[in-house]
Each structure stands twice: as structure tokens, then as C-alpha cells.
């Protein structure tokens, strides 16, 4: 049975994340956004506290927390700087998850432990120029050779692609089998033929690097294949189910930050002789914002709880991401509106929240894809 009450441990993790977000993540966030500056120092601090291996068991170097705790931590970090929360989401939900559940013992020791300990950062390389929402269309080819595979192709929209120490890469090993011929590989930073290209100049999430990666005759040894050959598409889809919880939590964090800034401003801004928070129109906006944020958070916690209970959470995570991302876009837009002209300038943070929010409707499955996922799950049930 899903409960909205948090355990003492979950509460403590949320408060710890809130503290480090306020003291370490928020300072400098405006400058990092303006300069598109990736901060390894902040990630090192978060790694030391276990935030880069939250759901990995302690024996594998992680913190051993549950998905609810993870979602709450992502939310708090995203309130301070959503760009930083991207790295946490990709690392915990996608990279670590695949290695934890599908890597062999040798791979876990070599790759998962340093990731979980925050020593290394990982990226998730699924998207391609012709494989966005339709991830079955992988054109990166892996050709078998003595002792391994030769990879050739292009990946794009790769979060942390420039700074990642290792990369989870999906490539086609048997084109005739289509999506059943996709395999998952580990490619380490500095491998010959692996070339991250110039970072994208993005509208939002600017302090998280995003790039395309050119892959040219890149040799990957057999011991760096994750799972079995041809199992890659299954790994990708299963990891994205959990990844959507992280992005939904991120969206809630962005929305909360915009809402709190709006309440503060509405109490201070005087028009027609009184604070604007006393005007009914502003009250209506704030009430709608608050209700939708609360509903989004409940959807996130429900999905995370079902994941912790090892129940089917596919529909729940898709609903959480679809609703929370739409809420983040709406709330941040209204936040700019409440601030008026001030909301349009960088001196006030809501313009950044607005820019950051939009991508939550796009990456790790667009809102349109979420509706398809939800509908498919509904058809199974009824």
C-alpha cells in the first residue's frame, strides 16, 4: 500500500540533500549557467556524500538507499541547480542501474564501484541523429573482430558526454535482427576512436554539458559487453523506466523553486497600494501552481515506491514524468508572468527555471512518448 508518509531515513536524506544544495550547489549557479560551466568540484562533493551511487548496495560502493530517497534528493538538488541534477539522474537511474543489474562481477568491481563512490562519472549513449524517440533505429554498428568489437557511428544529445569517464553505449551488432540485434557496451574515456565533439549551446540546463560523439573504428574488448549480445534494447528500455522517475523528480524541483520565488516576490511587489499577493488573480495563479506541484510530487513518490516494492511501475513512472514535466513548464511560465518584466531578466532566477524546465518534456522520452507508454500499459490491464 502506497503511503505519503516518509520514513525517518528518507526524511534525513531529503534534509541532507537540501542542506548541500543550499550550501554547495546553489552558490555560483547563476554564473555557471551564464558561462555554460560544468562543475566537477560540486560533483566530487556530492560523490563523497554518496549522491552518485544512491541506490547501489553498500557492498558495491554505494549508499544503499531506496528509490523514494533518491527521488527526494534529486528534487532538492534540482531546486538549487537543475544542471547538476542531470548528472545525478543519469548516473543513478541509467548508468549505475544497468551495471548493477546486468554487469558481471568483474565489471561491477572495475566500473560500478568507482561510479557509486563518486570517483567516476558516466554517460548514457542511446540517442543518435536518426534514433531519438524511436531508439530501435540504431545506426552505430559494432562489428565482431578478434577479442572484441569495432564500433562506428554517431551519438548525439549525450548528457555529460564531454566529461564522462566511462560511457554506456548501444550499438547494432546484427542489423537483420533489428532491435533484437542491439548490444550494450562500456567504452572508457580516452579510448581511441571515441571523440566527444563540441558542446551544444543550449537554451537551458547550460551548466550540464551535452554533445555529439563521433565513433570511428573504436575497439571495445569482449569483456566490456554488458549482458548478452543482442540484449541491449531490453537494457535500454528497462533503465529508462527508472530514469523517468529521476526526471520527474527534477521537474518537481524546478517547479518548487519557481513557485517559492514567486511567493516571495508577490509578498514584496506593491501595485495599486498593496502587495500583489493580495490580488485575486495572483492568488489564483499561486493556488494552481501549488496544487499541481503537490500532485506531481505524489505521482513521483508513488512510482518510486512501486519500484522499491519490485512492482510494475512502468505506467506510474511515465505518468509522473508526463505530468511533472508539464507542471514544471506551466509553473515556471506563470512564475515569469507573476514577476512581470523582472521575470524576463537574469537578475531574477525565474527566467532560468523557465529555460531549464522545457527539456524535461523532451529528454528520456518526450511527453508524447509517455502517452504511448501509458496507453500500452492500460491496454494490458483492461
Give the residue among 80, 66, 225 at the shortest CA–CA distance from 147.
225
Question: In the chain, which residue ranges form alpha helices assigned H by DSSP?
Answer: 8-20, 29-35, 40-48, 67-80, 82-89, 97-102, 105-107, 113-116, 232-268, 280-308, 314-339, 350-358, 367-381
From the list 256, 271, 255, the residue with the least C-alpha distance to 342 is 271
Residues 338, 330: Cα–Cα separation, whole Å: 12
Does the active-site annotation cover 364? yes
Which DSSP letter does residue 207 get? Answer: T
Q: Which of 24, 256, 319, 364 is catalytic?
A: 364
Chain length of the chain:
382
Distances (CA, A) of 344 to 170, 325, 338, 351: 40, 21, 11, 6
- Start-to-end CA distance of the chain, whole Å, equals 21
Does residue 345 come out as left (phi exceeding 0), alpha (psi in the -120 to 50 range) or beta? beta
Sign, CA torsion 50/359/354/325: negative
Q: Coil, helix or strand for 194?
A: strand
- Cα 151 to Cα 160: distance, rounded to the nearest angstrom: 20
| Residue whose C-alpha cell reads 518548487 in the numeric block | 256
**Residue 368 to residue 234: CA distance in whole angstroms:** 21
Query: Which cell goes with 325?
Result: 514535466
How many angstroms separate the CA atoms of 70 and 66, rounded?
Answer: 6
Closest by CA to 320, choosing from 273, 274, 374, 363, is: 374
Separation of alpha carbons 252 and 290, rounded Å: 11
Cell numbers for 73, please give them.
534528493
- The residues annotated with a catalytic role in the active site are 364
Amino acid at each position: 500500500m502506497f503511503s505519503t508518509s516518509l520514513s525517518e531515513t528518507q526524511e534525513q536524506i531529503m534534509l541532507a540533500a537540501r542542506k548541500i544544495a543550499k550550501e554547495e550547489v546553489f552558490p555560483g549557479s547563476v554564473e555557471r549557467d551564464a558561462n555554460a560551466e560544468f562543475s566537477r568540484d560540486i560533483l566530487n562533493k556530492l560523490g563523497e556524500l554518496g549522491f552518485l551511487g544512491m541506490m547501489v548496495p553498500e557492498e558495491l560502493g554505494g549508499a544503499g538507499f531506496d528509490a523514494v530517497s533518491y527521488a527526494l534528493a534529486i528534487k532538492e538538488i534540482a531546486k538549487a541547480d537543475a544542471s547538476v541534477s542531470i548528472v545525478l539522474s543519469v548516473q543513478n537511474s541509467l548508468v549505475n542501474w544497468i551495471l548493477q543489474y546486468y554487469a558481471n562481477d568483474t565489471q561491477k568491481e572495475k566500473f560500478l564501484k568507482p561510479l557509486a563512490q563518486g570517483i567516476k562519472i558516466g554517460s548514457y549513449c542511446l540517442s543518435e541523429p536518426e534514433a531519438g524517440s524511436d531508439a530501435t533505429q540504431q545506426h552505430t554498428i559494432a562489428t565482431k573482430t578478434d577479442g572484441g568489437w569495432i564500433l562506428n557511428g554517431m551519438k548525439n544529445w549525450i548528457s555529460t558526454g564531454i566529461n564522462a569517464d566511462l560511457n554506456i553505449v548501444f550499438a547494432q551488432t546484427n542489423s537483420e535482427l533489428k532491435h533484437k540485434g542491439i548490444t550494450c557496451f562500456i567504452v572508457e574515456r580516452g579510448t581511441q576512436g571515441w571523440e566527444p565533439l563540441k558542446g551544444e549551446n543550449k537554451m537551458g540546463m547550460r551548466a550540464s554539458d551535452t554533445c555529439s560523439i563521433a565513433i570511428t573504428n573504436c575497439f571495445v574488448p569482449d569483456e566490456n559487453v554488458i549482458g548478452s549480445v543482442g540484449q541491449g534494447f531490453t537494457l535500454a528500455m528497462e533503465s529508462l523506466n527508472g530514469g523517468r522517475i529521476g526526471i520527474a523528480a527534477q521537474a518537481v524541483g524546478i517547479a518548487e523553486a519557481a513557485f517559492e520565488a514567486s511567493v516571495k516576490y508577490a509578498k514584496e511587489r506593491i501595485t495599486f497600494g498593496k502587495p500583489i499577493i493580495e490580488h485575486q488573480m495572483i492568488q489564483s495563479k499561486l493556488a494552481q501552481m501549488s496544487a499541481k506541484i503537490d500532485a506531481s510530487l505524489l505521482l513521483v513518490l508513488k512510482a518510486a515506491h512501486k519500484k522499491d516494492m519490485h512492482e510494475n511501475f512502468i505506467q506510474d513512472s511515465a505518468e509522473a514524468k508526463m505530468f511533472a514535466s508539464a507542471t514544471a513548464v506551466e509553473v515556471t511560465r506563470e512564475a515569469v508572468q507573476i514577476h512581470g518584466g523582472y521575470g524576463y531578466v537574469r537578475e531574477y532566477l525565474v527566467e532560468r527555471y523557465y529555460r531549464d524546465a522545457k527539456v524535461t518534456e523532451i529528454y528520456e522520452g518526450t511527453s508524447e512518448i509517455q502517452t504511448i507508454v501509458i496507453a500500452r500499459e492500460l491496454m494490458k490491464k483492461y
